[in-house]
Structure 1
């Protein structure tokens, strides 16, 4: 399991006071308002950034970090990923997992036969979808209780029910 989760990416500077435009990568963009510090890899050095303020404009967060006060300082951070510790991540509900913990897990059917590995999990309109690399093809499994039977992080496996027609493509 990973220790840190990406919560955003700095895309550019905003205004003259050194605010950063941050594209939120978390499923709850308002979460940025609750975070006091983030981690960033700045020129190969892991750096703690203290968040002073967060406000939103359309789909972007405008973040003011205590360490930076000019647009030029922020512009130098373009495309920098922002991370939080697992301890500061959004708390999970019962039977929930962090997407980052699912990537790379083996996927087995109900009989224990390995189908492939999880390469991505992403939201759709109704539910999340899990992409599984099966070697010669990638298959999308709906991340719903009828399909995902068990997630065992300790064993590194997800047991699935293969819905009718799912593997026919």
Structure 2
């Protein structure tokens, strides 16, 4: 992982909770309460305005999290924040375990087959429930299951390359 200045999207504010200015959050961390471990947050409003925030606290509340944001005590202020995305610097996250990867670290890496055929670069990843899938854009888009060692043979951050066992015609 070379780009330590990147930001990671961890969740978003989806509305107000109660009358004391608490916010309902959607969290994409695992477990979802971990979002509070990674701070400072960089809040990006739907209009593009950004600000940094430290000290948010929260708890589980049904399908969302409930958060108390520092300095926010009014429900209307929280409602105005609806849709605000919560980012953290990539450097705020712990290093991944061996053979585990943050998706953002894989995005932009070149992908080639074991025979050396260039397929393109990783544009994004997504989960199907059964496994994660890399979207590789080159002469066309290919969806390659991120399954090691069946399809993904190696990930080399020094060379900015992923080698896959994949038929380039598929």
TM-score, scaled to structure 2:
0.84
Alignment correspondent of 2:37: 34
Is contact 1:50-1:67 (8 Å) kept? Answer: no
Distance (whole Å) between structure 2 residues aligned to residue 86 and residue 36 of structure 1: 11
1:1-169 matched pairs, under 5 angstroms = 1=3, 2-42=5-45, 45-136=49-140, 138-145=141-148, 146-162=150-166, 167-168=169-170
2:104 aligned counterpart, secondary structure: helix
Q: 1:35 to 1:101 in 2, by over 3 A?
A: closer
Is contact 2:36-2:56 (8 Å) kept? Answer: no
Distance (whole Å) between structure 2 residues aligned to residue 45 and residue 154 of structure 1: 35
Distance (whole Å) between structure 2 residues aligned to residue 142 and residue 89 of structure 1: 25
1:72 aligned counterpart, secondary structure: helix
Is contact 1:35-1:51 (8 Å) kept? Answer: no
- For structure 2, the residue ranges without an aligned partner over 5 or more in a row are none
CA-atom RMSD, angstroms?
2.2
